[in-house]
Amino acid sequence: MSIAEDEALQSKFRELRQTGPGRAVLRQRTPVEHALAPIAAREGHSARYIGTRRNLFDLRRAAALQNLEAAQRLIQEAA
């Protein structure tokens, strides 16, 4: 048996789930996390480049692609 690296964070979320105000806080997180999930899936879990400048550019590139794909989906659904 092993303890996860983010066990403290998971414990905090478990405690938040037990209370009404805590669940409200978690509900605020959900739309943000759902919006960022496709970018995380496209980028992966590790930085592609050494240094922040190129990684920031790569993140912005991925976000722009995601926005274009979302806009294309909306246009196709409207047609």
Number of domains in the chain: 1
Q: Does the residue 1 lie in any domain?
A: no
> What phi-psi label fits residue 27: left (phi over 0), alpha (psi between -120 and 50 degrees) or beta?
alpha
Domain membership flag for residue 50: yes
Q: Give a yes or no: residue 63 inside a domain.
A: yes
Residue 18 belongs to a domain: yes
Of residues 69 and 1, the one with the higher pLDDT is 69
Show the domain range for 69. 7-78
**Residue 73 carries which side chain, given as an amino acid letter?**
R
- Domain for residue 2, yes or no? no
- The secondary structure of 1-64 as a DSSP string is ----TTHHHHHHHHHHHTSHHHHHHHHHHHHHHHHHHHHHHHH-SS-SSSSHHHHHHHHHHHHH
Whole-number pLDDT of residue 77 = 96
Each residue's pLDDT tens digit, 4-40: 888 999 999 899 889 999 888 888 888 888 888 999 8
Is the separation of the CB atoms in 26 and 54 below 8 Å? no
